Structure 1
């Protein structure tokens, strides 16, 4: 991802396809599980709302 793409994403609001994290803690098991949960929920949420 280049700098311009990053700026473009930052300028948008969070939604079904975009989720910002202020901090990302993958040093602990709970932090890793939180990342996995978020990663799985984004596409799943869209499917549920489309139904």
Structure 2
């Protein structure tokens, strides 16, 4: 399970959405998506190189 998207998606239900403020989650989610996207791009470029 090295896929950052899958691991973050698996952690979301475990963390308990009630404990995390919605505003904080809305701020954290796009940055997590940006990180996982750039990580995937880097992984893909290394794979194809």
TM-score in terms of structure 2 length:
0.39
Looking at secondary structure, tell me which structure has more helix per residue. Answer: 2
Higher relative contact order (CA 8 A, sep 6+): 2
TM-score in terms of structure 1 length:
0.38
